[in-house]
A = this chain, B = another copy of it.
Amino acid sequence: MKVKKTRPLGRPRRSDRTQPTSELIIQAATRLFIEYGYQNVSVDDVAKQCDLTKATVYYHYDSKARLFTKTMVQMMVRIRERINTMLQESIPLKTRLFNITKAHLEATVNFDMDGFMKGVDNALTPEQLEEITNAETAMYQTIRHAFVYAMEQKEIRHINPTFATHAYLSLLKAGNYRNESDHPDTIDETAKQIIQLLWQGLQPEEEI
C-alpha cells in the first residue's frame, strides 16, 4: 500500500511541523528559561532544542533579552487566561481557587517571578523589564479582582487585596515542597491544605 504522496513543490515545510519557527523557538525557550533561568540558558541551547542554529534564532529575535521578554510575556498571558477562565465559573470563590491551585500544582511550571528575575534585570532594557512587569501585573490583577469582588460580597473579610493576591500565590509555591515531607501528600491533599489555610485566614476575624 505504498502510495507515493504527491509532494508539494518548492521548499518543503521543515519536517511536518505546522508551527511557524518563531513559535517553535518560543516554546523551547519557555521550557528552558523556566527550568534553568535566564543566565543558565544560552541562545545556542535554545537553538539546539529546536534543531536550528543560533543564527536562525537571531533571525527571528534580535537578542536574547528580547526572546526572553517575549517568552515571559507570552507565558504570563497564557497563565492569566487560564486563571481568568477558571475564575469565571459560577461556583464559590473557594472552589474556584481550589481548582486553580490544583491546576497549578499539576503543571510543573513554577512561576515564581520574584526569584526568577533576580539579576536578570541588568540584562534587560527598561522597556523590556516594563513589558514583563506589566504582564506580571495583569496576571495578578485578575486574581486581585476576584478578591475585591469577594470582599464586596462579604465572602471574605476586608483585607488589602494586593496582599491577598500575593499571599495566595506564595502559598501556591509552598505547595512545591510537598514531596520532601515524610509522607508525601497527593496534589489533591496539598491543594486542600493550601485552600484550607488561605480561606480560613481570609474569614472575618473573630476574637483572635
Binary contact track A159-188/B, C-beta < 8 Å → 1, others 0: 110110011011101101110111001000
Whether A181 touches B162, Cβ cut-off 8 Å, given contacts A39-B37, A115-B116, A167-B171, is yes
Binary contact track A180-208/B, C-beta < 8 Å → 1, others 0: 11100100001001101111111101001
Q: Which residues of B contact A190 (CB under 8 A)?
A: 163
* Number of copies of chain A assembled together: 4
A198 touches which of B122, B194, B201, B205 (Cβ 8 Å): B201
A201 touches which of B35, B37, B41, B196 (Cβ 8 Å): B196
Is A88 engaged at the interface, CB distance under 8 Å to the other chain? no
A202 touches B197 (CB 8 A): yes
Whether A193 touches B114, Cβ cut-off 8 Å, given contacts A36-B119, A122-B40, A199-B208, is no
B114 touches A173 (CB 8 A): yes
A174 touches B163 (CB 8 A): yes
Secondary structure class of chain A's binding surface, majority of residues: helix
**Smallest CB–CB gap between A24 and chain B, Å?**
22
B112 touches A193 (CB 8 A): no
A40 touches B160 (CB 8 A): no
Whether A40 touches B40, Cβ cut-off 8 Å, given contacts A115-B116, A160-B185, A163-B174, is no
Q: Which residues of B contact A122 (CB under 8 A)?
A: 36, 40
Binary contact track A99-138/B, C-beta < 8 Å → 1, others 0: 0000000000010101110111010000000000000000
| Complex: chain B residue closest to A197, CB-CB | B201
Besides the known contacts A159-B197, A162-B181, A166-B177, 4 further A-B residue pairs in the complex with CB atoms under 8 A apart = A162-B180, A196-B208, A197-B201, A200-B200
The 9 closest A-B pairs by CB, nearest first: A115-B115, A40-B119, A201-B201, A39-B39, A197-B201, A170-B170, A36-B119, A166-B174, A170-B174
